[in-house]
């Protein structure tokens, strides 16, 4: 009975925590990006990590969750977390159902997390649930450290807090092979710092009408300040303007333009959207920019210089 009470206590606490699902989703995205360390390595896929990095992914996620929920999740006594005075183990797996349960977790509540950067339907999804670890719910061990997988029956008993929920996408990993090759030529070393400006320009040229997050720009540029590569005065914005492409950020005037053109609106610093535009006299789905009216360029439209849409930091 005490074990069942512990599981119910943790389940109720997590269900009651403010924006729990959204916050875990954000932490999961940040954890993957932290592991890729794109600004220094140019990596953006799970397959690019080495064995040690993959092995420690769960530890990095635990630390990030502990920081995000500081005051709600404490350090465990025997396990990873202490939630409402209940010791809770935490396990992450990139492969659904393949959580590795150590012998010392038996008899304890376990928080199970799974995240896929690209599932079979090319979605960025994750799941999170709770289970009481019992000997009867574990498969026989084949590992020297005696860690075991859950049985199918045990997996079916998981109390889900989130199931196949979306988390912020991995933009670069979602690109098709042709587009990715244009931005990151296969001949380039992923650790190369040269040609950062070219990669950023190619990113905005080839990935239009989609939100481009700061981490994608940092990975392409190989530096921490994405605005330096995006702004005018020689950055991507001034170069791509000659191709009729505008780059919009999170500022009010830019969001006004994005909304009028039915583009995704950047909502945070370092987030952008690009699009090729053309002049028009039609007021339908067009917007006034720099004294003229502009709409999204139609396929095959003649290229003309884009209007001036200054970024707030162009003169910094």
221 found inside a domain: yes
Res. 17: pLDDT tops 50: yes
3-class DSSP state of 86: strand
Q: What is the pTM of this model?
A: 0.86
Do 147 and 234 belong together in one domain? no
Q: For residue 118, what are the CA distances in angstroms to 15, 45, 51, 139, 213?
A: 27, 10, 19, 28, 17
The backbone torsions φ and ψ at residue 138, rounded to the nearest 5 degrees and listed phi first, read -120, 140
In whole angstroms, give the CA distance from residue 252 to residue 79. Answer: 47
Length of the chain: 316
Q: Quick one: pLDDT at residue 53?
A: 95
Q: For residue 216, what are the CA distances in angstroms to 130, 179, 316?
A: 33, 14, 23
Closest among 3, 27, 23 to 110, alpha carbons compared = 3
Q: Quick one: pLDDT at residue 104?
A: 94
Do 96 and 187 belong together in one domain? no
3-class DSSP state of 153: helix
Model confidence at 284, pLDDT cuts 50, 70, 90, reads: confident
> Contact, 183 vs 220, CB < 8 A?
yes
CB atoms within 10 A of CB 44: 24
Do 140 and 192 belong together in one domain? no
Do 186 and 271 belong together in one domain? yes
Structure tokens at 49: 């990590």
Do 158 and 42 belong together in one domain? yes
What's the rounded mean pLDDT across residues 139-163?
91
In whole angstroms, give the CA distance from residue 162 to residue 125. Answer: 10
What digits encode the pLDDT tens for the residues 51-101?
Answer: 999 999 999 999 999 999 999 999 999 999 999 999 999 999 999 999 999
Do 282 and 233 belong together in one domain? yes
Res. 179: pLDDT tops 90: yes
Do 204 and 266 belong together in one domain? yes
Report how many domains make up the chain. Answer: 2
Model confidence at 234, pLDDT cuts 50, 70, 90, reads: low
What's the rounded mean pLDDT across residues 204-214?
96
> Contact, 102 vs 145, CB < 8 A?
yes
Percent of the chain clearing pLDDT 90 (strictly above): 72
Res. 113: pLDDT tops 70: yes
Angle among Cα 295, 180, 259 to the nearest 5 degrees reads 25
Structural domain for 93, as ranges:
2-166
The residue from 166, 195, 227 where one domain ends is 166
């Amino acid at each position: 009975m005490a074990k069942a009470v512990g599981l119910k206590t943790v389940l109720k606490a997590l269900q009651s925590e403010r924006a729990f699902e959204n916050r875990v989703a954000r932490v999961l995205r940040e954890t993957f990006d932290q592991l890729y360390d794109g600004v220094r390595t140019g990596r953006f896929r799970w397959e690019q990590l080495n064995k040690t990095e993959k092995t420690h992914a769960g530890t990095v996620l635990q630390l990030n969750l502990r920081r995000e929920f500081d005051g709600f999740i404490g350090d465990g006594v025997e396990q990873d977390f202490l939630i409402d005075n209940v010791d809770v183990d935490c396990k992450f797996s990139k492969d659904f159902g393949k959580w590795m349960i150590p012998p010392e977790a038996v008899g304890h509540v376990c928080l199970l997390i799974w995240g896929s950067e690209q599932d079979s339907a090319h979605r960025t999804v994750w799941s999170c649930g709770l289970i009481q670890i019992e000997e009867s719910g574990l498969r026989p061990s084949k590992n020297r450290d005696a860690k075991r997988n859950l049985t199918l029956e045990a997996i079916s008993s998981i109390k889900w807090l989130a199931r196949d929920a979306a988390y912020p996408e991995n933009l670069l990993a979602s690109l098709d092979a042709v587009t990715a090759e244009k931005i990151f030529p296969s001949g380039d070393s992923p650790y190369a710092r040269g040609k950062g400006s070219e990669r950023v320009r190619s990113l905005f040229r080839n990935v239009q009408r989609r939100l481009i997050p700061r981490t994608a720009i940092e990975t392409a540029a190989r530096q921490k300040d994405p605005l330096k590569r995006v702004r005018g005065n020689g950055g991507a914005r001034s170069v791509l303007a000659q191709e009729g492409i505008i780059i919009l950020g999170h500022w009010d005037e830019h969001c006004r333009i994005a909304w009028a053109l039915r583009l995704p609106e950047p909502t945070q610093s370092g987030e952008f959207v690009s699009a090729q535009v053309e002049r028009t006299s039609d007021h339908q789905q067009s917007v006034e920019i720099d004294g003229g009216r502009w709409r999204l360029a139609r396929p095959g439209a003649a290229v003309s210089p884009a209007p001036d849409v200054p970024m707030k930091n162009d003169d910094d």
